[in-house]
Chains A and B, each alone.
Chain A
Amino acid sequence: MKRNTQTLPISIDAQQLVVTLNNKKILNNLSFQVSSGEVYALLGGNGAGKSTALKTLLGFHKPVSGQAVIEGLAVSTSLSAIRKKIAYLPENASLYPHLNAFENIEYFLSLAAVHKTHAEIKISLQQVNLQQDAWQKPLSKFSKGMRQKTAIALALLRDSPILLLDEPTSGLDPVAIDEFNQLVMSLAKQGAAILMVTHDVYGACQVAQRIGLLRDGALVGEFVADGGHQIDTEQVHKAFTAGVID
């Protein structure tokens, strides 16, 4: 467990975040940073505070102390500006079931005041490997993987420098997981800062340059990919299991 030296600009900076919900401390002095071009995975069991950490970065929860800074702007004071920079993929990527993939993307982009042509949307849907015959079907007929792909296509079209992914591979089949991981790594290579929260040790090790181990709302350890190699799954698994059991 060693700390990586940051060379790229820091996109996400969580500074000693303390978040209380219903009188219960969910985040306890949580601090971590994610740079552009980096995939950072927050790994933790159920109730560790993973989703709360993401929602705090999005401004859905207000920290009792500490602060979240996105690309140099404090979430507490520059929320609108920050949301323009973030693409968020919730755990259950529930877009509108009455709309088809195209309509969903067009609608959400229009609300974000992002203008994309049909051709650009098509490219994005092809990029996420959503089969073409499904594009005009309502999302109520989509599998979870297909909905996830649509949501990722939307995130890509936002051209956001920061991606927040909440349990992105949960419920996906192995082929879809592999495709998703490839996509995430390619986005990071293009310069996006990607923060994903997950309890999937193997998935995290496959894509992340760094993994933060979260327990009871605090970071209890961090693993860093060494010299272009993946993070050692066994080592993370051991620490994670110990953490969960402890």
Chain B
Amino acid sequence: MKQNLQSIQPVIMWKIARDEWRYWFRSKLAVVALLIGLTCTMLTVVVSVGDAFELEHQRGHAQQQSEQTFVNQPDRHPHRMVHYGHYVFKTPPPLGMVDPGVDSHTGNTIFLEGHRQNSATFADQKQSSGTTILGALTPAFVLQVLAPLLLVIMGYGVVSRERETQTLSILAAQGLGYGNLILGKISALLLVAMLMLLPLAISGIVVLSQGESLLTLSLFLVGYLLYLSIWILIIVSISLWAKSNSVSFSTLAFTWLVLCILMPRVATTVAGVMVPAAGKLEKDFAVVAELRQLGDGHNAKDKAFVQLEAELLKKHKVNRVEDLPLNFRGFVALKSEAEITSILNRYAEDRMHEELRQSFFARQFGWLSPQVALRTLSMLTAGTGLETHHRFLRETENLRFNFVQRLNQAHTNKLNYIDDMNRNKSEAAGQIARISAKNWNVIEGFKFRSSPSKERALQAMTPLAQLLLWFGMFGLFLRNLQRHYS
């Protein structure tokens, strides 16, 4: 049964693939598995695309409303506007409708206000019910985890069934080599994989219309096709190696369990061990302890600002803060906000650095599991990875700091110090300690944009290399196995 590439016959391969499909159609289990796979992919894509459009509309509307509400506030004390705050929304990238990535855990909305860096909220996972705690049914989840299982259910017997029923020897006696047989079986399974990917490819048209680049979309689709092809090679290899159908199925089910369920969790656990990070509560306490040393920015008479006061008086050559050409309370707020932000940013950068290091270790498991490799490639090309979330946090923090400082600047320059100090003495005094609503026009319009497609494609090169290695490794393994059995 020795066969070289020259004796590969496409017509024979097609006949074998067609017969495998005929077998699947007549076998209820395979038909059910195929229908489940197609329905899941189709439904999740349709629902996700619909949701994405609705969410984008809602977020756009909410963003506009939030900006309008802020700007339309009446004359107020400027520091009340600092605490009035402002919401910003992360617009998901076009491919985010297929793979929401870390967004489903991290959230997409941040409340920006003075002296605080709030976490993002409204994460899908945190809003979901207990039954969906293991992960929402997104197109990415269906294709990364369920599709390989469905391929296993459909394909575990492609060769072992022929061996068990002894049709292999009859096929061989017809002059059919293992090469044509295996390529025929691979073609049959590849058609199943392509059918499962079809809804994804169709959604690509919507994704392109939303401004996604063809390069990123192609890389995204190639990644998924490569991943399912790797599974096809694994399935056919094990089916060829196994002595019986039951051995083939149990080996493949175990392989799926290890590669798709166990390994991604092991990756996260190992990353946590390799890069130990303090818990949120512990870090919050540390931040609060450090911030306390700065003094209370709301109280200009806090002893932490004595030196600042002295320097300012000296600079303006006056003896009393009342004689300063600026509002000392506003100036303290300005300085205090800068110092607080510096500390908050340092902790935030440390946390992001730790997260990236953990993520780096977790992503190395792509060499051990194609699912981890694809998950990374999918998130990075979609622009829903950790890096993008960090950029969102930095951009929103920048926005927060700028608008708070502009308000503090207005506080410093446009509100008289004495009026400010007397603001709580009476209602009338409170009315005087206000500045014009025209000063609220300090918020820059916020629109979060995906990273350039080239940058995302470059980031995805390592997971792509991992997938190519898996493909090559199992391709060679199957070829050697085929030669062995030939």
Q: Which residues on A are within 8 Å of B, measured CB to CB?
A: 55, 58-60, 79-80, 83-84, 86-88, 90, 92-99, 107-108, 110-113, 138, 151
| Of B2, B7, B23, the contact of A96 (CB 8 Å cutoff) | B23
In angstroms, Cα B7 to Cα A111, docked, is 13
Assess A107 versus B15: contact at CB under 8 Å? Given A80-B175, A84-B175, A98-B27: yes
Q: Do A97 and B173 touch across chains, with their CB atoms under 8 A apart?
A: no
Assess A111 versus B172: contact at CB under 8 Å? Given A79-B1, A90-B166, A99-B22: no
**Mask of B7-41 contacts with A, CB within 8 angstroms, 1/0:** 10000100110010011001100000000000000
Residue B131 is within 8 A (CB to CB) of chain A in the complex: no
In angstroms, Cα B27 to Cα A98, docked, is 8
In angstroms, Cα B273 to Cα A224, docked, is 80
Given contacts A84-B175, A94-B165, A111-B171, 17 further A-B contacts (CB under 8 A): A55-B169, A58-B172, A80-B175, A83-B173, A86-B173, A90-B170, A93-B170, A94-B170, A96-B23, A98-B27, A107-B15, A111-B12, A111-B16, A111-B174, A111-B176, A112-B174, A112-B175
In angstroms, Cα B169 to Cα A84, docked, is 14
Contact sample, A vs B, 11 pairs, CB 8 Å cutoff:
A55-B169, A60-B169, A80-B175, A94-B170, A96-B19, A96-B165, A96-B167, A99-B22, A111-B15, A111-B176, A112-B174
Q: Which residues of A contact B167 (CB under 8 A)?
A: 94-96
Q: Which residues of B contact A59 (CB under 8 A)?
A: 1
Chain B interface residue bracket vs A: 20 to 34
**Mask of B435-453 contacts with A, CB within 8 angstroms, 1/0:** 0000000000000000000
In angstroms, Cα B171 to Cα A112, docked, is 9
A62 to chain B, nearest CB (A): 10
Q: Which residue of B lies closest to A158 (CB)?
A: B174
In angstroms, Cα B12 to Cα A80, docked, is 15
In angstroms, Cα B127 to Cα A231, docked, is 87
Q: Do B170 and A107 touch across chains, with their CB atoms under 8 A apart?
A: no
Q: Do B19 and A87 touch across chains, with their CB atoms under 8 A apart?
A: no
Q: Which residue of A lies closest to B173 (CB)?
A: A88
Q: Which residue of B lies closest to A87 (CB)?
A: B173
| Of A60, A94, A96, A107, the contact of B172 (CB 8 Å cutoff) | A60
Q: Which residues of B contact A83 (CB under 8 A)?
A: 172-175
| Of A98, A108, A111, A113, the contact of B23 (CB 8 Å cutoff) | A98
Q: Which residue of A lies closest to B26 (CB)?
A: A98
In angstroms, Cα B22 to Cα A107, docked, is 11
A3 to chain B, nearest CB (A): 30
Interface residues of B in 131-175 (CB under 8 A from A): 165-167, 169-175
Q: Do B174 and A79 touch across chains, with their CB atoms under 8 A apart?
A: no
**Mask of B159-198 contacts with A, CB within 8 angstroms, 1/0:** 0000001110111111110000000000000000000000
A61 to chain B, nearest CB (A): 11
Q: Do A92 and B166 touch across chains, with their CB atoms under 8 A apart?
A: yes
